Amino acid sequence: MRRADSRPVRRGRAPEGRQAKQRIPAGRASKAELEADLDVARRLIRAGVPVFAARPAIGPDGRWNPTGGTGGPNGCGYWLPEAWQKTVPTDDWLDR
C-alpha cells in the first residue's frame, strides 16, 4: 500500500501517548478505509491473484529504505515472506 506521494504506508505502529491503544494502521484515516482496502484484496484473491503481507524495510532513521529488505544490499524495499513465490490465492493472509 502506498500513499499518494509513493511512500509506503507504515502499518502496525501505534502512536505515542493517549492514543497508543488505537489499532488503526498508520496513514489511515478510518476503519472504513481499511475495510475498503481489504475488500479490494479479497476481490484480487477471488480473481486468482496471490496476495501476501510484506513489511517495508525501515532504516535506522525510521524512513523506508527502498534498497533494504529481502535481497541483500540491493533489496526490494520489503521483507518478503519465505517462499513468497509459491503463494496461492487465499484469504489466509488477510487474517494476519
Cell 477471488: give the residue.
46
Please say if the pLDDT value at position 37 is more than 60. yes
> Can you give the pLDDT at residue 17?
42
Per the model's pLDDT, the better-predicted residue between 25 and 87 turns out to be 87
- CA-nearest of 6, 17, 5, 12 to 28 is 12
Strand locations in 16-76 (E): 55-56
What pTM does this model have?
Answer: 0.55
> Can you give the pLDDT at residue 34?
84
Cα angle 28-34-36, degrees, rounded to a multiple of 5: 125
> Can you give the pLDDT at residue 44?
94
Read off the pLDDT band of 7 (50, 70, 90). Answer: low
Cell, residue 55: 513489511
Domain definitions of the chain by residue range: 27-95
Please say if the pLDDT value at position 65 is more than 80. yes
